[in-house]
Amino acid sequence: MRMTTEVLKDVPQGLTRERIEQLARASGEPEWHIQRRTEAFERFLNLPIPSPKQEDWRYTDITTLHLEDYTAVAWSDAPRGSAPTTLPPFLTEQPVVRVFHTAGFGFEAHVPEVLQAQGVQVRDLREVLINSPELLEADLGRLAPIPGDKLTVLHTAAWDSGLYVYIPRNLQIDGVIEIIHWFETPGMHFPHTVIVCEPGSAANIVQSFFSPERVRVFVLGAVEVFCKPNSELRHTVMQRMGRESWFISSIDYEQGRDSRVLSLNVGLGAQLGRTVLQHLMTEPGAEARPLGLFFGDGKQHLDFRTLQDHRVGHTTSDLLYKGVLADEATSVFSGLIRVHPKAQHTDAYQANRNLLLSDEARAYSIPNLEIGANEVRCTHGATVGPIQPDELFYLRSRGIDPEAAEALIVMGFLEVVLREVKPADLRLSIQKLLASKLKGEAPRYFTDLAELDEEVLV
């Protein structure tokens, strides 16, 4: 009995094997998925909280995490409050598809009739699991990283809401599909997104994760993207959680022959924010362009783990993550290029650049190569450093005050990534959000410069 108590102390309130099985069966989930949930929950109970001694968690210490301090909102009987009456604005001015996912209160999707007629689907993932389980049985959860990780298997057992986005064969969507995920109820949430891009399709999807300030929320999420042959995807994940929240999510892409994916991972919010991103290139001709932007301040801790996994030859990946850190903020970037033994003629690059705006900020950068083939071209690089005094001196000598000079330098540092963001209104929104993290009058200078830059581009 004492052993059972010790194990259950690290379990979110309201979450038990019996509860999972009861609610999943009552909602009509297929038996194969209920079995997956309960088996994952048993593994979860027997695994320890991840430690910085593990390579996948190096420099990120969550050993003080007490899962029992959080209520598993969807699995408990705790009150959820009222549905929010206002939600954050979209990052693009006129998204062609608009989706609001409010944790605990369902979702609302606005898909034009013409796209519906062409086969575009945006559905509740639980509804798909119950009414169309054949769409998910083979792939749901298959891409999950770090299979022996306690939090990974917890998500598998307890995912509670999410979306299924389907882009049909040979359809190129003109415009942005934008999704807002809103978490207002205190406690633990487990969102899951599945995106399927059929052969020859093209789409631009933006997902933003928000929670209010002063609300204690823990989001443990997953995004799985299946890019079929000759498909093209631009996919942005924007993390803007409140400062008392934790956000941990995997983002996984499986890429078929001649598929092209540009992923943009933006980290701005949360007390602790962590993403584990994988590009799995499984057929020749697949191309991946993973991009990252992050800005930490206060005592934020932002953690990015990436894998460029070249499983076959004649595949390409080019990763660039750039971050800015102020105050006592900390970042971790750990990236791995893996080339499998038969993956000849792989071309892979990885770079992480970090700009420190204070003496107390810290950035840990760990680029890695794991090469199993000999006819490849693979390189990596990392830099960490403050603003150079000669850069500041040059701008100050031309009459630019210190805050404006800092804004100019930060903007120039991030520009190489921002230039690849499309459409222009999404780029401008991200620039303004980055500007909001600067001190004093610097945000105004940064925003003015960004808007002027967009006018010049137009």
Q: Residue 153, by phi and psi: left (phi above 0), alpha (psi -120 to 50) or beta?
A: alpha
The three-state secondary structure class of 75 is helix
| Residues 241, 257: Cα–Cα separation, whole Å | 35
Which are the contacts of 121, defined by CB distance < 8 A and separation ≥ 6?
164, 165, 166
What is the per-residue pLDDT for 44?
A: 96
What is the per-residue pLDDT for 6?
A: 37
What is the per-residue pLDDT for 101?
A: 92
| Residues 379, 251: Cα–Cα separation, whole Å | 23
Sign of the CA dihedral running 150, 155, 156, 157: positive
Per DSSP bridges, beta strands 107-110 and 97-102 are antiparallel
Closest of 198, 192, 175 to residue 119, by C-alpha: 198
> DSSP for 407-421?
HHHHHHHHHHHHTT-
Q: Which tokens is 287 given?
A: 């191309």
> DSSP for 5-62?
HHHHTTS-BT--HHHHHHHHHHTT--HHHHHHHHHHHHHHHTSPPP-TTSGGGTT---
Contact between residue 111 and residue 122 where contact means Cβ atoms under 8 Å apart: yes
Which residue is listed with tokens 């999420």?
221
Q: Which tokens is 311 given?
A: 């499983």
| Residues 296, 243: Cα–Cα separation, whole Å | 11
Closest of 390, 421, 410, 168 to residue 296, by C-alpha: 410
Q: Where are the alpha helices (DSSP H) in 329-438?
A: 389-396, 402-418, 424-435
CA distances from 62 to 14, 59, 186, 273, 407 (A): 22, 10, 19, 12, 33
Structure-derived torsion over alpha carbons of residues 146, 148, 154, 158, reported in degrees to the nearest 10: 80
| Residues 340, 143: Cα–Cα separation, whole Å | 17
Q: How many CB atoms lie within 10 A of CB 144?
A: 19
| Residues 424, 451: Cα–Cα separation, whole Å | 10
DSSP symbol at 273:
E
CA 335 to chain centre: 15
Which are the contacts of 377, defined by CB distance < 8 A and separation ≥ 6?
346, 347, 348
The three-state secondary structure class of 144 is coil
pTM of the model: 0.93
Per DSSP bridges, beta strands 107-110 and 217-227 are unpaired
Q: At what angle do helices 402-418 and 442-457 cross, to 10 degrees?
A: 40
Which residues of the chain have a pLDDT value below 70?
A: 1-9, 79-83, 85, 145-147, 440-458
| Residues 51, 40: Cα–Cα separation, whole Å | 20
Contact between residue 427 and residue 418 where contact means Cβ atoms under 8 Å apart: yes
